[in-house]
Amino acid sequence: MSQAGVDLKTECIVYPSLFHKTLICGCPREYLVLVGVASATSAFLANMMTVLFGVGAVLYINGVIQAKKDPFFFEIWLNNLVYIGKTKNKGGGNVYFP
C-alpha cells in the first residue's frame, strides 16, 4: 500500500518499548535495582557477603517467578502500595495476585 509515494511497510516503525517490558535475565529492570540496593544494604549492615548473595538470590528467583506470571508485577505492586494504599472492606481491598 502506497500513499503519496510513501511505502507504509518500510517507513512506519513501531518501537516495542511502549508495550513490552524491559527484562534483564528474566526480571524487570526496576525490580533488579531494588534487589541490588536491598542486598547491598543488608550485607553492609550484617557485615557479611554471604547475606548479600543469599538475599539477592532469593529475591531474584522470586522476581523471575513473578515476571513469568506478569512482567508488570513490580509497577502494579508499587502503584498499589504508593498511590492506592489499603482499603477497608471485607473483600480484601486492592489485592493483586499475579
Contact between 38 and 55 under an 8 Å Cβ cutoff? The reply is yes
Rounded Cα distance between 3 and 34, Å, is 48
Residue type present at position 21 = K
Helix (H, G, I), strand (E, B) or coil at 59: helix
Query: Is 13 part of a structural domain of the chain?
Result: no
Encode pLDDT of 20-65 as tens digits.
777 788 888 888 998 888 888 877 877 777 767 787 888 889 889 9
Give the residue from 14, 63, 5, 15 showing the smallest Cα distance to 38: 63
In a domain, 32, yes or no: yes
Q: Is the pTM of this model over 0.75?
A: no
Residue 76 confidence (pLDDT) above 70: yes
- Is the residue at 10 inside a domain? no
In total, how many domains does the chain have?
Answer: 1
Q: How far apart are CA 92 and CA 98, in angstroms?
A: 15
Query: Per the domain annotation, does 14 fall within a domain?
Result: no
Distance CA 41, CA 20 (A): 30
The domain containing residue 66 runs over which residues?
23-98
